[in-house]
Chains A and B, each alone.
Chain A
Amino acid sequence: MEKALIALAAALAVGLPALATAYAQAKIGSSGAGTIAEKPETGGIIIILEAIPETMVILGFVVAIMLILQFA
């Protein structure tokens, strides 16, 4: 039971930020596509902006790994 709870916690630690990241990236992606259509030279900046919300899921992944390594 304890292991199951740890696994659930790890899954939530990755899953919830993943949803938030996906939402943010969808918004940035659609706006970015519009921006690139208007100004193609902004392509590089938009790609960098697209990567910014990934911090959430990466940190979530780290927390999940720590949970598993510490308690499982």
Chain B
Amino acid sequence: MILDMLRIAVWGLSSDRSRLVKVLHDLGVVHLVQMDTTPKIQDSPSLKSLQKLRHAILGLIEALEWKDWESLTDDYLEKQREFIPDFSDGVLKALQGSLDEFNERLGKLKDRQMELKKQAEKLRRVLKIAHHFDSFWKAEKAKGHSIGFWWIYETNLSRLLNRLKSLRQEADSFAKSDAAFRYHVAKLSEGESVIALAGPEEWLSNVEKVMEEENAVRWTLPEEYAVGDFIASVKYMENLYKDIPKELSKIENELRETKDNWGPKLAAIYIFVEERLEEVVVEKTTKTEGYMFCLEGWIPEIELKRTILALKNHFGSRVLLMWRRPKETEWHKVPTALLNPPLFRPFERFLQLMPPLRYSGIDPTFLIGIFFPFFSGCMVGDVGYGAIIALIGYVIKKKAKSRLWADVGSIMLFVAFWSVVWGVLFGEYFGDIGKRLFHLEPMWLERSHVVMPIMIFAVAVGLGHVVLGLLLGFIQGVKSKKRHLWLEKLGNLFVLLALIGALVTLKGWLPKEIFVSWGVVLFVGVVLLIVGGGIGALAESIGSIGNILSYVRIAAIGLSSAILAAVATKFLDVLGMSIFGLFLALALHLLNFVLAIAGSSLHSARLHYVEFLGKFYEGGGKPYKPFSRRRFKKWKKH
């Protein structure tokens, strides 16, 4: 149902402006009309400082990696609001100061965390190399040799080793004992290695030149970790590496605690700042005349009393509220507010795929709520499948974290209800399992065996649905005083009536004498069509017949679903009660179930969008967006 709207104008004293905007914001029912953000408004210093604050808070929320917006309850927000009663310059300054301090503390923690991670990675890489040479270093040191390390390209390694071997004699001459020169190679990656050379100190200094020629670079332990000799440094690094995870987990705990404690608080402040920003923009765009200012907007008529009461309570006689009904000439400017029974509210989702409904239009939500699950359920038409859809719908509704999913769950419950009803009528319980095991017979027809009556029924339902659409289109035309529209719809109805009447007469269900009168009805219909919409309207009339025939899909998709379910059970006949047979039967049932859900909802939606709504739905309206506070959890109250 589309709510009746009233145009209101609120006049108040300029000194009350801020408070009045706040009261209207709390009330949350006025759709303001004079919102324009001119550059002058954007330059306002209060707006700028609020925007700066908002960015700072958002930056902190992102730095904390806090995303749990859904956990903010109204109660929590109201409690937090007590700490920030307003956004005066003093409060803004204090907030900015606290946020800067918080940011600095958080930054220090994050920097330390990053530094530790980098250090751990560095130590891991150095230790990986150093551990290759532990025993080599100890053994060679025991012999009194000097040891040096070089980083080298893998491609140069064999040539280098050959050259070193040729220098062996020289090494031997320096050596006090035998086997003077030794080396050990550790592969770092595909193309890189580190080589350790051990030998007399004088020889090693001579080798430097060869190493340089082979593009080998001296490798030493990082300066900051060098304490004493190689082994002592390695030990020191191992200790450091062992301690890093402890410190990291301490920082992570601290960050987690900060996130848990401060995330919701910052989010609440962010919401308050956003709200305040909206208020400031409204304050700046009000019409000012002398000591007075004026706010204009639209409110649903049912909210008028509450609005008057709220303004009276806060401002007494210092506020003047004027209201009037919209004129026909301004219907296109009036925002459209919908109010449907809670049971049918989820079906308002279907309108989101259409252009916004006009204020003067007809809200189809209730009708979609009736027909969508009816058609969908008729296509599924199986008690077993219906029960599973109900279960899935219930779980989705219970676990839903957003209103969208809660609505999807509710719609599935509707579809499940009709699936069960149609399942009983068609005698289908997971295909023909009910019939085989419990001899459950259909209450109406077995659709896999009696095809034609189901098809005729589907077309008859389509006729009813399309005629209803045309009737609504006719009412819409009369209501909005669009002569061409109601003439066209009426002509369409006459043409359909004539065709059905002629068909029924030919079948012998009506006396043959009145056959000619159907010709007269057809003529009247065609005249109305041409007068209303010209020759083009005739094509639309033929389109309506096509629309009606399109409903045969309800029977066709239902039939294919019933046959697939029966085939699934047939696997057990052919393969017996084997694991393979059961697996195939279950797999086919699963496939059929998925197709039934997807196909039935898609085609049912299409029947509504293309065949039904096209007959009367008027888009191009403005959705009702009241000036209200942010409430992420508001939907859970329903």
Contacts and interface: CB of A to CB of B under 8 A. Distances in A.
A66 B452 CA distance: 8
B606 A59 contact: no
A8 interface: no
Interface string A9-21: 0000000000000
A48 B552 contact: no
A47 B602 contact: yes
Interface residues of B, number: 20
Nearest to A62: B552
B604 to A, nearest CB: 10
Chain B at the A interface: SS class: helix
Contacts of A51: 602-603, 605-606
A54 to B, nearest CB: 7
Given A59-B549, A62-B556, A52 B353 contact: no
A69 interface: yes
Chain A at the B interface: SS class: helix
Interface string A39-60: 0000011011001101100110
Interface string B584-602: 0000000000000000001
A59 B552 contact: yes
B553 A52 contact: no
Contact of B556 (A44, A52, A58): A58
Nearest to B557: A58
B411 to A, nearest CB: 13
Contacts of B553: 54-55, 58
A51 B611 CA distance: 13
B353 A44 contact: yes
B550 interface: yes
B492 to A, nearest CB: 20
Interface size grouping (class) on chain A: 10 to 19
Contacts of B552: 58-59, 62
Contacts of B605: 48, 51
A69 B555 CA distance: 15
A55 B550 contact: yes
B439 to A, nearest CB: 27
Contacts of A58: 550, 552-553, 556-557
Contacts of B451: 65, 69
Nearest to B352: A44
Nearest to A66: B452
Contacts of B560: 61
Contacts of A61: 556, 560
A58 B558 CA distance: 11
Nearest to B607: A51
Contact of B606 (A48, A62, A65, A66): A48
A12 B553 CA distance: 19
A66 to B, nearest CB: 8
Contacts of B352: 44
A37 to B, nearest CB: 18
Nearest to A50: B602
Contacts of A48: 353, 602, 605-606, 609-610
Contacts of A59: 549-550, 552
B57 interface: no
Contacts of B603: 51, 54
Contacts of B606: 48, 51-52
A21 B305 CA distance: 56
Interface string B75-108: 0000000000000000000000000000000000
Nearest to A57: B556
A52 B550 CA distance: 10
A44 B352 CA distance: 9
Interface in B242-272: none
Q: Which of B553, B559, B605, B610 has most A Cβ within 10 Å? A: B553
A52 B452 CA distance: 24
A71 to B, nearest CB: 14
A49 to B, nearest CB: 9
Contacts of B610: 48, 52
A69 B550 contact: no
Given A48-B602, A51-B603, A62 B455 contact: yes
B558 to A, nearest CB: 11
Contacts of A62: 455, 552, 555-556
A25 to B, nearest CB: 12
B353 A45 contact: yes
A19 to B, nearest CB: 18
Contacts of B550: 55, 58-59
Nearest to A43: B353
Interface string B333-368: 000000000000000000011000000000000000
Contacts of B455: 62, 65
B556 A69 contact: no
Contacts of A44: 352-353
A54 B550 CA distance: 10
Nearest to B553: A58
Interface in B596-633: 602-603, 605-606, 609-610
A47 to B, nearest CB: 7
A23 B46 CA distance: 59
A48 B451 CA distance: 27
Interface of B: 352-353, 451-452, 455, 549-550, 552-553, 555-557, 559-560, 602-603, 605-606, 609-610
Q: Which 7 A-B residue pairs are closest in the complex by CB-CB distance?
A: A44-B353, A58-B553, A51-B606, A58-B556, A51-B602, A61-B556, A62-B552
Given A54-B553, A59-B552, 7 more contacts: A44-B352, A58-B556, A59-B549, A59-B550, A62-B555, A62-B556, A66-B452
Interface of A: 44-45, 47-48, 51-52, 54-55, 58-59, 61-62, 65-66, 69
5 contacts: A48-B606, A48-B610, A52-B610, A55-B553, A59-B549
